[in-house]
Amino acid sequence: MSTVSWITVRGLFGRRRFLLLLPLPVLLVGLAVLSRGLGVEPTDWGPPVLVGLGLAVVLPVVSLIVGTGVLGAEIDDGTVVHVLTTPLPRSQIVLPKLAVAAGVTAVTVAVPLFAAGLLADSVRLGAALAVAASVGALAYTALFVAASLLTRRPVLLGLVYVLIWEGLLSNVVTGTRVLSIQHYVIALADRLAPTDLLATTVSVPVAAVMTALIILAATFLSIDRLRSFSVAGETS
């Protein structure tokens, strides 16, 4: 593990915001266990729990908390100065931080989604949800890391995307789903484990291409934006 990665992990786990990651995954598993224990049909509780909570809330919110924390929190508290004074290329700062953010998010979300998918249907569905959520974690965190470098209110911007764009518009105007990471994840999971519990109008090829474009564009933007920061932590 590189020095930047280690510092990022230590800083992320040392902040209180990490405690915010735990309630939602626990709630997800708890609802799945409760529904299964009460004998509710998976077709009744699967979509609202797996998609409505797991993919529409837990995945993006955890990604937002982690993604805006790995660099945004350092900018807010001034510790970014220590990073900026190193002779490292900005790409060697952004990429390890993005890897840590995506990894932490993936583990935090994929494990409860696997458990919920297993309870709803099968090991295959659980694994498909875990894999798709891990891909989505990388896309979301790349987007939110970039947002933390572009604005002083990245959490607000992220919530607008998650709640308004993905949560509201994509359910009313189906055409907006082509720009929804949530629906890319659903498309991928449904391809890996076809089931009636998952549904989206976005095709797998579109989901794959758009996910790759978001990851690459957001990463490039983050690197370019960090280059514009001076030692004082302000843009030059």
**How confident is the prediction along the chain (236 residues), in pLDDT tens digits per residue?**
567 777 777 777 766 667 778 899 999 999 999 999 999 999 999 999 999 999 999 999 999 999 998 886 666 656 666 666 777 788 888 999 999 999 999 999 999 999 999 999 999 999 999 999 999 999 999 999 999 989 889 999 999 999 999 988 888 888 889 999 999 999 999 999 999 999 888 999 999 999 999 999 999 999 998 888 654 444 54
Residue type, 118: L
- Domain hosting 48: range is 3-227
Name the domain count of the chain.
1
Residue 14 counted as domain residue:
yes
Residue 59 counted as domain residue:
yes
Q: Compute the Cα dihedral for 160, 74, 58, 2 and give only its sign.
A: positive
What Rg do the C-alpha atoms of the chain give, in angstroms? 18
Residue 81 counted as domain residue:
yes
Residue 220 counted as domain residue:
yes
Q: Is 235 helix (H, G, I), strand (E, B) or coil?
A: strand
**Predicted TM-score of the model (pTM):** 0.90
Residue 43 counted as domain residue:
yes
